Amino acid sequence: MLNLRQKFGKFGEDLAARYLKKQGYQILCKNFRCRFGEIDIIAKDSDTVVFIEVKSRRTSTFGHPKFAITHEKQERISKTALYYLKKNDQSNCRARFDVVTVNSVDKKTDVEIIKNAFELAYK
C-alpha cells in the first residue's frame, strides 16, 4: 500500500510519461532498478537514449523541484544509466540526462522538461 507521498510521486511519474510521449519521446522503461540505484523513466528521443529523473512538488516550501537533484543523486543515476547501457548492449549509443519537473501548487500543475540537465557524474 502506497502512502500519500508515494502516491503523489507515482502521479508525477505517470504525468511526466504522458507529457514526454506528447513531446515525441518513446518510453522504453519506467522505474528501472539495479544495485546502483533507480531511474524513473528511460526513453528514446530520436536517436538518443534519455535517462529521466522526475521531481514532483505539491508545495513551494522546499523550492522548485529542479533544484532537488543533488550531486550524489546524479552519481547514482549515472552509474545506473551506465549499467543499463551495458546490460542492453547500447554502450556506443548517444545518451543524455533530462529532468522532468511536476509542480502542483495551488490546484495548478505545471510540467517542464529540462534537457541535458546534468552531465555524467561518476567517481
- For 69-99, b/e burial (b = at least 16 CB within 10 A) is beeeebbbbbbbbbbbbeeeeeeeeebbbbb
Q: Is the pLDDT of residue 109 over 90?
A: no
- Per the prediction, the chain carries an average pLDDT of 88
- Mean pLDDT, to the nearest integer, of 74-85? 96
Query: What gap in Å lies between CA 39 and CA 21, rounded to an integer?
Result: 17
State the distance between the two ends of the chain, measured CA to CA, in whole angstroms: 36
- Cβ atoms of 99 and 39 closer than 8 Å: no
- Higher-confidence residue of 1 and 69: namely 69
Summarize pLDDT for 94-106 with one digit per residue, the tens: 999 999 998 877 7
Q: Is the pLDDT of residue 6 over 90?
A: no
CB atoms < 10 A from the CB of 52, how many? 27
Q: Is the pLDDT of residue 92 over 80?
A: yes
pLDDT in the model for residue 53: 96
Summarize pLDDT for 11-69 with one digit per residue, the tens: 889 999 999 999 999 999 999 999 999 999 999 999 999 999 999 876 665 666 666 78
Longest distance between any two alpha carbons in the chain, whole Å: 45
pLDDT in the model for residue 119: 92
Query: What is the band of 87 on the pLDDT scale with cuts at 50, 70, 90?
Result: very high
Cell numbers that stand for 113 in this block:
522538461
CATH class, range 4-118 = alpha beta
